[in-house]
């Protein structure tokens, strides 16, 4: 009986020690994630809508987790104030012109705050100072925009389908041109006539050049062109010599 009781006490003691050890490890891990054991400083920002942000969510700067959301308060019907706790060693990189935006860890992950990098000319942010925020884009707004775009695309597709149907059935100028063989033949004949007219014009010009009444005019024009060409060649030769 005593031996059994002693074994039970030993097991109970080991269970309690193991539970305390697990509890201490959990406290250490949580405290490390929440910066409970590191020097911290606080910053604030305001949003119109925090879009699901919660106390304890991470804060990132240049892709690195640097703190957590300490508190969220509703100031009025259009302002929500967010309190941030950041690691003290990061303060040297946070400028007053840094901007805070709300993001997410992955496509469907928890919300988080993202602090953008400021300019080199910006002053260092002090403890308790407020930073400018960028309002998040709501998923509902994105979906509404996609729905409008899809509806417009459907209307355009329907209109194009109607146009192609009319063309294929021979309606409209383009449809008649594609479907009516008479119009196509007339167009071909017009092109042939234009070619003949152009050929006839060339023959008339050659005949005019051979005419003794106009021969002097064309010869004068030819000599002027040759003179202009010689002057240009002489000028190019002078440029090459220089």
What fold, for 39-136?
Elongation Factor Tu (Ef-tu); domain 3 (2.40.30)
Phi/psi for 114 (5° steps) reads: -120, 120
| 99-104 and 132-134 beta bridge pairing | parallel
Q: Please provide the size of the chain in residues.
A: 242
Angle between helix axes 139-168 and 172-179 (nearest 10 degrees) is 50
Angle between helix axes 172-179 and 181-210 (nearest 10 degrees) is 80
Reading the chain (242 residues) residue by residue, the pLDDT tens digits are 566 677 767 777 777 888 888 877 776 666 555 555 568 899 999 999 888 889 989 999 988 989 999 999 999 988 999 999 999 999 999 999 999 999 888 766 788 999 999 888 889 999 989 999 988 766 656 666 777 788 788 888 887 887 777 767 766 666 666 666 666 677 777 787 777 767 666 655 665 555 555 556 656 777 777 777 777 777 777 766 66
């Amino acid at each position: 009986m005593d031996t059994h009781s002693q074994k039970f006490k030993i097991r109970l003691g080991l269970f309690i020690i193991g539970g305390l050890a697990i509890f201490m490890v959990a406290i250490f891990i949580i405290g490390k994630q929440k910066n409970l054991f590191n020097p911290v400083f606080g910053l604030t920002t305001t949003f119109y809508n925090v879009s699901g942000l919660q106390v304890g969510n991470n804060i990132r700067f240049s892709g690195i987790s640097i703190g957590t959301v300490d508190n969220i308060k509703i100031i009025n019907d259009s302002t929500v104030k967010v309190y941030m706790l950041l690691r003290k060693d990061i303060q040297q990189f946070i400028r007053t012109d840094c901007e805070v935006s709300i993001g997410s860890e992955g496509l469907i992950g928890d919300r988080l705050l993202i602090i953008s990098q400021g300019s080199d000319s910006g002053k260092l942010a002090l403890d308790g100072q407020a930073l400018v925020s960028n309002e998040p884009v709501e998923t509902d707004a994105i979906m509404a925009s996609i729905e409008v775009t899809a509806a417009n695309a459907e209307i355009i597709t329907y209109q194009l389908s109607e146009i192609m149907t009319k063309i294929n059935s021979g309606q409209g100028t383009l449809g008649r041109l594609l479907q009516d063989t008479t119009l196509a033949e007339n167009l071909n004949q017009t092109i042939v006539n234009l070619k003949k007219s152009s050929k006839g014009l060339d023959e008339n010009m050659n005949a005019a050049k051979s005419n003794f009444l106009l021969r002097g005019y064309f010869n004068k024009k030819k000599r002027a062109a040759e003179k202009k060409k010689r002057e240009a060649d002489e000028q190019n030769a002078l440029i090459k010599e220089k």
